[in-house]
């Protein structure tokens, strides 16, 4: 208390001395987030969205964006979707946005930077808003891993793959990179399993405590039964496996046995379907349209690293982001790092010196799932909701990307 | 520093009559004249500059022999503001660092006669409704302004601002208009008659750091970003004029009829301005207290009779630099001669003086 009062007086005498003051300052041309919502996360091929193709999912989500944003759809200038596995995603985005109530004057695009796709989409929309290209935009992340699965289906041409090791390593499957991280950085199976159990415990606790309720919009979809009949179901909750224990997952066999024996289905991200969206505009616009301001987009950072250890991407992206804003890891209240695998999650947590209590407080991709394109925006939606619950301010989201990249985003919660 | 009861005379100013009281061991945050008695002043403050430790409420009397302490009350935490009741001549409110608001009665014991604990953090201001006299408000570091009635145990309304609110007031002209200034550099106006809705009674949010509407040649035109606003005050005569001041050292006047930018910028202080107060006698004069240890008198240039051209070229008219620490509080005396005021500062002194003795020309 006393230190806070002293800090307050000091900030009167030497304003803007503290980097936190500088990013939490409210200026009229800040890019702010006025709406953040997501669908539930469902298991691919088996869960609630298994028969919901991308356009159906986007249509439902974007309808909710139009309804809940309380903004005249004419004001929206652009929508950017982060999606990794569907090569035709941009068609689906455009058509479903028009169906959902956006006018033809609202443009649409998709972007693919692997698992950071919707954080990249957020960056694109934020830059468009900041530069004045558009007044209001939507950043969407969506992935239907039950469908559309465009992956690398052939080796690179010889001149590319033989040029150097890094280019060749881009062919490596993600499981291989996880085992490489586990071996090279000595992240034992025990450490990974302990991490995974905690992620499950937190997700279960969060769901049971109702913390996800202000993030999720229920979605009504058609589900085909075993006999082929279609029924309508309203999905309201994430499909989280309850009651995971260390004993139960320590028995699971390795999933990438040819590369190593540490990563398995229990300590890797689940294969999941889902979509999330945030609405961005300038603070002056938000005040003019009488919008609630959930948080401020401060900036992002991207980093590149060796493809074979792609999992440790956040270890490069987060320090770069923090140093751009003169912050230290201790200044951050909530950190969302995508749990592609427990191997990289443990490494990133310990290497960056993050208090575990601040990291993925509602569980992460190991328990919740990782619909590749959705993750970027999902972390923002989840992070802002958690900041509101904790009355915390500074949020960092981050993820690794296949082929060796890391990305991180910095936000200030104003709830 | 000596223990004189009269202040030292600086070499270049005439002999001044100045009364002094020492709040030994406690650093005052604000001083307020009683609306009922012209000889009574209240001072609120805390030990250790209010950072940690007890608080104290002093009730002082101006006598022929100087300032005497009639009574004092001890509180658990520092008192950041005080407000005399408009209903009851012996009662006054305190704004506490522990989030509490207490009502003291001078005639009743050592403890408050009523208390309210709803704010989650330090309460930085309390203000009594000057028109309907039956409600008061508080503003806090927890980002809210709360409206209360002395008869009710719970607050009547909470206005959310989401940013530390250093100062909030009822308009002296309309009983249902509330204004607040906060850390996020905005002046907000609330009308309690409106339906709550999504705006929570807010009708206007003026960015204080906006550039002035009319750029005056030769005048300061700061291009600063937002800075914390620490204080504000309604003009007592012109019912749409408010002055604000804070960390960027500039006092700004706003006219709510044209709220897009400040009308007047009064620059001169070297450090943050902690408190301002418009004169109850002259529509264009205001007094400020600053961390630069001076208290200064200003005109905003709006009074044509006094030589201002009415077009709003404000100027500093005088300054008092007898305080030797951050000046924290100012209040004008309502009765008697129109220049008397009281100021307090972290040098543990309350000074009562006549601004006319410090005016140049």
Chain B interface mutation, best of A13, A15, A390, highest count of B Cβ atoms under 10 Å: A15
pLDDT at A79 over 90: yes
Q: Is residue B228 part of a domain?
A: no
Please state, in angstroms and rounded to a whole number, the distance separating the CA atoms of residues A349 and A351: 6
pLDDT at B198 over 70: no
What's the start-to-end Cα distance of chain A, in Å?
21
Round the average pLDDT of chain A to a whole number and report it.
Answer: 94
pLDDT at A323 over 90: yes
Cβ within 8 Å of residue A100, ≥6 positions away: A58, A59, A62, A63, A65, A66
Q: Where are the alpha helices (DSSP H) in A70-142?
A: 89-100, 117-131
Q: What is the dihedral of CA A104, A105, A110, A116, to 10 degrees?
A: -130
Catalytic site includes residue A170: no
Q: Is residue B314 part of a domain?
A: yes
Catalytic site includes residue A387: no
pLDDT score recorded for residue B12? 47
Mean pLDDT of A350-376: 96
Asked if A287 has any chain B CB less than 8 Å from its own CB, the reply is: yes
Is B228 in contact with A12 (Cβ distance < 8 A)? yes
Q: Is residue B343 part of a domain?
A: yes
Please state, in angstroms and rounded to a whole number, the distance separating the CA atoms of residues A338 and A351: 15
Cβ within 8 Å of residue A84, ≥6 positions away: A112, A114, A115, A117, A143, A372, A373
pLDDT at B241 over 60: yes
Q: Which of A42, A370, A382, A387 is labelled catalytic?
A: A370
Residue A393 CA, distance from chain mean position = 18
Interface predicted TM-score of the whole assembly (ipTM), two decimals: 0.85
Mean pLDDT of A28-40: 95
pLDDT score recorded for residue A290? 86
**Do the beta carbons of residue A125 and residue A78 sit within 8 Å?**
yes
What's the start-to-end Cα distance of chain B, in Å?
31
β pairing state of A76-82 and A136-144: parallel
Q: Which of A115, A348, A382, A387 is labelled catalytic?
A: A115
Cβ within 8 Å of residue A164, ≥6 positions away: none
Q: Residue B196: CA atoms inside 13 Å, Cβ hemisphere, count? A: 5
Q: Is residue B4 part of a domain?
A: no
Per-residue tokens: B291: 């961390």
Please state, in angstroms and rounded to a whole number, the distance separating the CA atoms of residues A111 and A302: 15
The number of beta carbons lying within 10 Å of the beta carbon of residue A188 is 12
β pairing state of B66-75 and B55-63: antiparallel
Domain that holds residue B350: 19-216+237-358
Q: Is residue B321 part of a domain?
A: yes
Q: Residue B160: CA atoms inside 13 Å, Cβ hemisphere, count? A: 10
A15: nearest CB among B49, B164, B228 = B228
Please state, in angstroms and rounded to a whole number, the distance separating the CA atoms of residues B310 and B306: 9
**Do the beta carbons of residue B41 and residue B352 sit within 8 Å?**
yes
- The H-or-E segment that residue B59 falls in is strand B55-63
pLDDT score recorded for residue B309? 52
Mean pLDDT of B117-143: 96
* Phi, psi (degrees; rounded to nearest 5) at A293: -105, 115
Distance from CA of A296 to the nearest CA of B (A): 14
pLDDT score recorded for residue A406? 97
A287: nearest CB among B162, B205, B226 = B205
pTM of the model: 0.70
pLDDT score recorded for residue A191? 94
Q: Is residue B42 part of a domain?
A: yes
Q: Is residue B88 part of a domain?
A: yes
**Do the beta carbons of residue B301 and residue B310 sit within 8 Å?**
yes
Please state, in angstroms and rounded to a whole number, the distance separating the CA atoms of residues A379 and A385: 10
pLDDT at B14 over 80: no
Please state, in angstroms and rounded to a whole number, the distance separating the CA atoms of residues B185 and A284: 14
CATH of residue B63: 2.130.10.10
Distance from CA of A250 to the nearest CA of B (A): 45
The number of beta carbons lying within 10 Å of the beta carbon of residue B46 is 26
Q: Is residue B13 part of a domain?
A: no
Tell me the per-residue pLDDT of B31-76, one tens digit each, with 9 for 90 and over: 999 999 989 999 999 999 999 999 999 999 999 889 999 999 999 9
Mean pLDDT of A244-256: 92
Chain B interface mutation, best of A1, A2, A5, A16, highest count of B Cβ atoms under 10 Å: A5
Beta bridge partners of A205: none
Is B271 in contact with A415 (Cβ distance < 8 A)? no
pLDDT at A209 over 80: yes
| Higher pLDDT among residues B214 and A273, named by residue | A273
pLDDT score recorded for residue B304? 60
Beta bridge partners of B138: B126, B146
- Of the pLDDT bands very low, low, confident and very high (cuts 50, 70, 90), residue B305 is low
Asked if B161 has any chain A CB less than 8 Å from its own CB, the reply is: no
- Chain B residue numbers with beta carbons less than 8 Å from the beta carbon of A290 are 198-199
Positive or negative torsion for Cα B296, B301, B304, B307: positive
Asked if A13 has any chain B CB less than 8 Å from its own CB, the reply is: yes
Tell me the per-residue pLDDT of B201-240, one tens digit each, with 9 for 90 and over: 988 999 898 888 776 665 565 666 788 999 999 999 999 9
pLDDT at B308 over 90: no
Cβ within 8 Å of residue B75, ≥6 positions away: B54, B55, B56, B57, B94, B96, B102
| Higher pLDDT among residues B15 and B324, named by residue | B324
Q: Lowest mean pLDDT of A201-210, A244-253, B310-319, B349-358, name the range.
A: B310-319
pLDDT at B311 over 80: no
Q: B198 by DSSP, 3-state: which?
A: coil
pLDDT score recorded for residue A13? 87
The DSSP call for residue A216 is: B
Mean pLDDT of B298-305: 80
Number of domains in chain B: 1
Q: How far is CA B229 from CA A111, A156, A162, B94, B234, in A?
A: 42, 60, 63, 21, 15
Catalytic site includes residue A194: no
Distance from CA of A124 to the nearest CA of B (A): 25
């Amino acid at each position: 208390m006393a230190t806070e009062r002293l800090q307050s007086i000091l900030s009167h005498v030497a304003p803007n001395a503290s980097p936190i003051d500088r990013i939490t300052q409210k200026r009229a041309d800040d890019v702010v987030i006025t709406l953040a919502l997501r669908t539930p996360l469902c298991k691919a091929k088996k869960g609630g969205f298994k028969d919901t193709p991308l356009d159906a999912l986007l249509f439902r989500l974007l309808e909710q964006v139009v309804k809940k944003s309380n903004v005249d759809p004419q004001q929206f200038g652009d929508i950017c979707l982060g999606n990794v596995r569907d090569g035709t995603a941009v068609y689906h985005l455009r058509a479903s946005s028009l169906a959902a109530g956006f006018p033809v004057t609202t443009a649409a695009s998709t972007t693919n930077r692997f698992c950071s796709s919707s954080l990249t989409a957020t960056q694109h929309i934020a830059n468009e808003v900041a530069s004045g290209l558009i007044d209001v935009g939507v950043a969407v992340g969506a992935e239907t891993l039950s469908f559309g699965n465009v992956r690398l289906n052939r080796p690179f041409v010889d001149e590319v793959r033989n040029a150097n090791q890094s280019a060749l390593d881009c062919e490596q499957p993600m499981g291989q990179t996880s085992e490489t991280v586990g071996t090279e950085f000595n992240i034992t199976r025990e450490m990974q399993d302990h991490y995974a159990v905690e992620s499950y415990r937190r997700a279960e606790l969060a769901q049971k405590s109702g913390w996800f309720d202000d993030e999720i919009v229920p979605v009504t979809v058609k589900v085909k039964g075993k006999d082929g009949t279609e029924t309508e179901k309203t999905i309201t909750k994430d499909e989280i496996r309850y009651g995971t224990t260390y004993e139960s997952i320590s028995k699971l066999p390795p999933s990438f046995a040819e590369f190593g024996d540490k990563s398995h289905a229990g300590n890797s991200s689940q294969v999941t379907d889902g979509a999330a969206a945030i609405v961005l505009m300038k603070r002056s616009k938000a005040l003019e349209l009488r919008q609630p301001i959930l948080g401020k987009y401060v900036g992002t950072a991207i980093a590149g690293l060796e493809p074979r250890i792609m999992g440790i991407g956040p270890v490069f992206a987060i320090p770069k982001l923090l140093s751009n804003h003169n912050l230290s890891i201790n200044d951050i209240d909530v950190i969302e790092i995508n749990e592609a695998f427990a191997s990289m999650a443990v490494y990133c947590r310990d290497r960056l010196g993050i208090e575990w209590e601040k990291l993925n407080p509602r569980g992460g991709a190991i328990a919740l799932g990782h619909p590749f394109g959705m993750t970027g925006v999902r972390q923002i939606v989840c992070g802002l909701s958690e900041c509101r619950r904790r009355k915390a301010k500074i949020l960092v989201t981050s993820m690794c990307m296949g082929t060796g990249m890391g990305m991180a985003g910095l936000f200030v919660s104003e709830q | 520093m000596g223990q004189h009861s009269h202040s030292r005379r600086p070499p270049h100013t005439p002999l001044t009559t100045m009364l002094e009281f020492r709040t030994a061991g406690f650093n005052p945050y604000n001083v307020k004249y009683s609306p009922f008695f012209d000889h009574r002043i209240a001072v609120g403050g805390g030990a250790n500059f209010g950072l940690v430790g007890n608080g104290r409420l002093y009730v002082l009397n101006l006598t022929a022999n100087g300032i005497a302490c009639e009574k004092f009350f001890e509180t658990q935490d520092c008192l950041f503001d005080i407000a005399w009741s408009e209903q009851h001549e012996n009662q006054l409110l305190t704004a506490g660092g522990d989030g509490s608001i207490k009502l003291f009665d001078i005639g009743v014991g050592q403890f408050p006669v009523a208390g309210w604990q709803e704010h989650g953090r330090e309460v930085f201001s309390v203000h009594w409704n000057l028109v309907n006299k039956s409600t008061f408000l508080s503003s806090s570091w927890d980002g809210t302004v709360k409206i209360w009635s002395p008869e009710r145990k719970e607050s009547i309304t909470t206005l959310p601002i989401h940013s530390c609110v250093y100062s909030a007031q009822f308009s002296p002209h309309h009983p249902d208009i509330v204004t607040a200034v906060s850390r996020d550099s905005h002046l907000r106006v609330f009308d309690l008659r409106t339906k709550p809705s999504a705006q929570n009674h807010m009708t206007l949010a003026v960015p204080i750091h906006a550039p002035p509407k009319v750029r005056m040649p030769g005048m300061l035109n700061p291009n600063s970003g937002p800075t914390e606003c620490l204080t504000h005050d309604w003009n007592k005569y012109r019912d749409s004029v408010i002055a604000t001041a804070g960390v960027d050292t500039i006092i700004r006047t706003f006219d709510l009829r044209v709220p897009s930018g400040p009308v007047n910028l009064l620059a001169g202080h070297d450090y943050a301005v902690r408190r301002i107060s418009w004169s109850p006698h002259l529509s264009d004069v205001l007094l400020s207290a600053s961390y630069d240890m001076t208290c200064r008198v200003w005109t905003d240039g709006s009074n044509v009779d006094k030589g201002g051209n009415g077009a709003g070229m404000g100027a500093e008219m005088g300054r008092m630099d007898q305080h030797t620490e951050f000046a924290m509080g100012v209040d004008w005396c309502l009765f008697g001669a129109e220049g008397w005021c009281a100021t307090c500062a972290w040098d543990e002194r309350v000074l009562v003086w006549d601004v006319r003795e410090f005016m140049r020309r």
